């Protein structure tokens, strides 16, 4: 059963504060192609199959998992205006995890401008759950629905800057084990690892300008849809670390916008969902009338 860690919010925040590390400024890291993105560090991102939680968007009106397109280091999903959708979360581990869900930069549980330290959903080991809306109470939600940017919940509450992205920050649960005895070390101390130097300010300047030139206004956002019964419970959760074990996001926009950006190849857009079929008909049809 899916639960929110509402009652454990203060406990989780206290745990994170006790183990927090000094703040570190984001650096520009080279991504796929010739683009740069801002991240806390430039360590390689593990493949999605190796991450604790898998995230997908599901079109609730068609019942289909929306396809993802990799473009310039980001995953994009095409949405259909007016369609309801859900965020499918799959815990791929044998332990509980806390998932802080951000939609358009807004925490889907509390309505705050999203931050990893906030309340979220707790998934049991190997659990898959679908979050279908903004949490209004322990009993109901307001449906997620693809809508025009100006009608999105984030824009209507004065926060339009991050419309068009769904993200998760995942925390593992702290397990209490007796401390292990430290093995003795012989010889000299191990050499300290040297941090990798940040990329120079001039590196990728032309790439960033090219990426900015290709940017187009966001068309879709997530609206505050109709109320829907969606009961959940409450639980306690102690985070194993101050920093999330995983931060992932999916960008989304209308199909036409993604074609214009070059995310979706035009040949795929023209074809739609149709694929060539070697046997399009089962039997020989009748000839046209008048023959």
- Read off the pLDDT of residues 104-122 as tens digits, 9 standing for 90 and up: 999 999 999 999 999 999 9
pLDDT at 289: 77
pLDDT digits (tens, 9 = 90+) for 6-36: 433 333 332 333 333 333 445 555 544 444 4
* Residue 123 bridge partners (DSSP): 97
In a domain, 97, yes or no: yes
Whether the CB-CB separation of 142 and 136 falls below 8 Å is answered with yes
CA distance 135 to 211: 35
In a domain, 137, yes or no: yes
How far from the centroid of its chain's Cα atoms is residue 75's Cα?
Answer: 9
| Closest of 111, 2, 132, 152 to residue 63, by C-alpha | 132
CA distance 156 to 214: 27
Count of helices and strands (H, E) across the chain: 5, 17
How many domains are there within the chain? 1
CA-CA distances (angstroms) from residue 195 to 41, 44, 85, 161, 168?
10, 14, 42, 32, 27
* Residue 248 bridge partners (DSSP): 168
Whether the CB-CB separation of 189 and 119 falls below 8 Å is answered with no
Domain holding 124, by residue range, is 3-176+215-271
CA distance 77 to 252: 5
In a domain, 111, yes or no: yes
In a domain, 183, yes or no: no
In a domain, 155, yes or no: yes
The two structure tokens encoding residue 19: 């183990």
pLDDT at 171: 96
Whether the CB-CB separation of 266 and 186 falls below 8 Å is answered with no
CA distance 233 to 3: 5
CA-CA distances (angstroms) from residue 277 to 13, 265, 274?
55, 21, 9
CA distance 205 to 140: 47
In a domain, 151, yes or no: yes
For the chain, list residues with pLDDT below 50: 6-25, 31-38, 189-193, 196, 199, 201-207, 209-210, 212-214, 273
In a domain, 184, yes or no: no
In a domain, 182, yes or no: no
């Amino acid at each position: 059963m899916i639960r929110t860690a509402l009652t454990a919010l203060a406990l989780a925040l206290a745990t994170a504060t006790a183990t927090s590390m000094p703040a570190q400024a984001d650096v520009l890291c080279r991504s796929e192609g010739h683009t740069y993105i801002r991240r806390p560090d430039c360590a390689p991102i593990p493949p999605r199959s190796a991450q604790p939680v898998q995230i997908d968007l599901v079109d609730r009106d068609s019942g289909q998992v929306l396809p993802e397109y990799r473009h310039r280091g980001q995953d994009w999903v095409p949405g259909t205006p007016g369609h309801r959708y859900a965020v499918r979360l799959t815990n791929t581990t044998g332990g509980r995890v806390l998932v802080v869900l951000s939609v358009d930069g807004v925490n889907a549980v509390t309505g705050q401008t999203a931050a990893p330290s906030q309340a979220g959903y707790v998934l049991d080991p190997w659990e898959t759950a679908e979050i279908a809306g903004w949490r209004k109470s322990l009993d109901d939600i307001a449906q997620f629905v693809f809508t025009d940017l100006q009608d999105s919940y984030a824009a209507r509450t004065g926060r339009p800057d991050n419309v068009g992205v769904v993200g998760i920050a995942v925390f593992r649960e702290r397990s209490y084990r007796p401390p292990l005895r430290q093995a003795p070390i012989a010889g000299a101390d191990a050499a300290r690892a040297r941090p990798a130097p940040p990329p120079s300010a001039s590196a990728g300047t032309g790439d960033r300008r090219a990426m900015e030139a290709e940017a187009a206004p966001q068309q879709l956002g997530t609206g505050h849809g109709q109320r829907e019964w969606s009961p959940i419970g409450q639980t306690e959760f102690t985070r194993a670390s101050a920093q999330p074990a995983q931060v992932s996001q999916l960008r989304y926009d209308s199909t036409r916008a993604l074609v214009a950006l070059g995310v979706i190849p035009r040949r795929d857009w023209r074809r739609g969902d149709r694929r060539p079929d070697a046997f399009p008909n089962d039997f020989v049809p009748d000839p046209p009338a008048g023959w």
